[in-house]
Chain A
Amino acid sequence: MNAPMQTGYNFAYLDEQTKRMIRRALLKAVAIPGYQVPFGSREMPLPYGWGTGGIQVTASVIGSKDVLKVIDQGADDTTNAVNIRSFFRKVTGVATTEKTREATMIQTRHRIPETPLAEGQTLVFQVPIPEPLRWLEPRETETRTMHALSEYGVMHVKLYEDIVRHGRIATTYDYPVIVNSHYLMRPSPIPKFDNPKMHRNPALMLFGAGREKRVYAVPPYTDVRSLDFDDHPFSIERWEAPCALCAATDAYLDEVILDDAGGHMFVCSDTEYCADRQAAGHKGEMAA
């Protein structure tokens, strides 16, 4: 369902030279998995923190035949997702979809879809802070040297401190990973539940940080390992109940408060996955 493209703007909002500059940065990023490549981030018609990095990456690689899906926290129908989707419909006229399988490009904030990605698909992440070492080392010159020399011992200091304070590694989102056995990378604030999905994923994953002016990438079938200790291995979140609508036990669930008497339900954060399962006849205990 191609929409008519709005006139007065270049295809995909950015001018061709800018798109070329970002594509050049992205090529470098793909060539060095996990390495943060600086790029000349542009002003976009929305505030920093709302996905300016992801939008610039999407705008510079999207083509007229692409089919775009946009999700925010797993949902297709939240403000951020709806607006970015309609933005791209206006300035490119490309078809949009909510179906992960039909999409050739997916821009995401904070989730990787539950439906496994396939070869040929591109996943674009919106990144607030790209530097995983920032918490421990404020100097950019120093963090660059640490990346160059793979000096990542301090990252374990943070995990150690987690265990000291909470008895386990309490980092639950933006969980640090080592890409292709070299670069330490922030996977953007996705839950650690999604970390294993990045490992040897057949899709291309691109990351854009607009305010911090960095792009990085995980090419298809690249090793992505989450950091951990031998005696405190990496593990993903578990829930006490299945999804209340589709009974899924293998999906990332949001806890939704229903009243002020302690009533709550767990429900899939990936709305498309949940709807598909319900359509296929899976019924949770609160399904209508």
Chain B
Amino acid sequence: MRPTSPLLQVRDLAKLYGNRIGCEQVSFDLYPGEVLCIAGESGSGKSTLLNTLAFQLQPDAGSVLYDIHGQGMTDLASLPDARLRELWRTDWGFVRQNPRDGLRMRVSAGANIGERLMAVGSRHYGSIREVALDWLRRVEIDETRLDDAPTSFSGGMQQRLQIARNLVTEPRLVFMDEPTAGLDVSVQARFLDLLRRLAAELHIAVILVTHDLAVARLLAHRLIVMRHGRIVETGLTDQLLDDPQHPYTQLLVSSVLAA
């Protein structure tokens, strides 16, 4: 099943905040269409790692290689700013924990979805609108809400709008930082369902940060467990959750309330 070449290759990545460690000695490969969860308690360096992977933070050591269209595996550190920003708005997506950080709250849902299209050169109002409407449908938001501002949306709708806004350019890799943390359980379930379906349909690779092992079990093909900025254990999700080897992972798994 697995294609032979990875989409993203991470080697000995480190991010330091002065003397404190954000994350260090992180290495892994991510393959196209794969959903990878990064789990761990708060303060374990998950979000730091995610931002460093996306080069929103400059790493202090190590390398991140990405398979750029028509260019092959490229060290992101060697990429000029212009190309990196082009990646951010076309081939990558970034879904934030707080929709206020990921959406333009003061413009309509349609404009939010259309922004990336306009950024890559779409200049036809009618067709931008059509695509926006189609994506609204795909993330199960009522079409009549196209011209409403996200401030009038519920939390779940805002997160789904973030998804639409990011997927409209059909990225190959999407970073997600605790996208379900602000949602109640029933809304969470619907959101995760949608996410799983879209990721599979569009063959998108996802790196998702969560402290919630239930989210990881539902979505992830593979799981990375972090503690104190380092990877303590990694493996296939089911294997890792059913048979944790590292004491910290055992603690984490045992602390989940049985349903």
Q: Which A positions have Cβ atoms within 8 angstroms of B?
A: 136, 145, 149, 151, 153-154, 156-158, 160-161, 163-165, 228-232
Tell me the smallest distance from the CB of A90 to a CB of chain B, in Å: 46
Bound CA span A151–B121, Å? 10
Interface flags for B87-112 (1: CB within 8 Å of A; 0: not) read 00100000000000000100110110
Q: Are B119 and A153 in contact (CB under 8 A)?
A: yes
Tell me, yes or no, whether B20 is within 8 Å of chain A by CB: no
Top 8 A-B pairs, shortest CB-CB distance: A153-B119, A156-B118, A229-B125, A153-B118, A230-B124, A161-B107, A160-B111, A149-B82
Interface flags for B105-131 (1: CB within 8 Å of A; 0: not) read 001101100111011110111101000
For chain B, what secondary structure do more than half of its interface residues adopt (helix, strand, loop), or is it mixed?
Answer: helix
Q: Are A161 and B108 in contact (CB under 8 A)?
A: yes
Q: Which B positions have Cβ atoms within 8 angstroms of A?
A: 81-82, 85, 89, 104, 107-108, 110-111, 114-116, 118-121, 123-126, 128, 147
A-B contact pairs, 28 of them (CB 8 A): A136-B104, A145-B81, A149-B82, A149-B85, A153-B116, A153-B119, A153-B120, A154-B118, A154-B119, A156-B123, A157-B111, A157-B114, A157-B115, A158-B107, A160-B107, A160-B111, A160-B114, A160-B125, A160-B128, A161-B107, A161-B108, A161-B111, A163-B125, A164-B110, A229-B123, A230-B125, A231-B126, A232-B125
Bound CA span A219–B73, Å? 44
Residues of B within 8 A of A160 (CB): 107, 110-111, 114, 118, 125, 128
Residues of A within 8 A of B114 (CB): 157, 160
Bound CA span A231–B129, Å? 12
The one of A154, A163, A164, A232 in contact with B115, judged by C-beta atoms closer than 8 angstroms, is A154
Residue of B nearest to A136 (CB): B104
User: Besides the contacts A153-B116, A164-B110, A230-B124, what 12 more A-B pairs have beta carbons closer than 8 Å?
Assistant: A145-B85, A151-B85, A153-B89, A154-B119, A157-B104, A157-B115, A160-B107, A160-B110, A160-B125, A161-B107, A165-B147, A229-B124
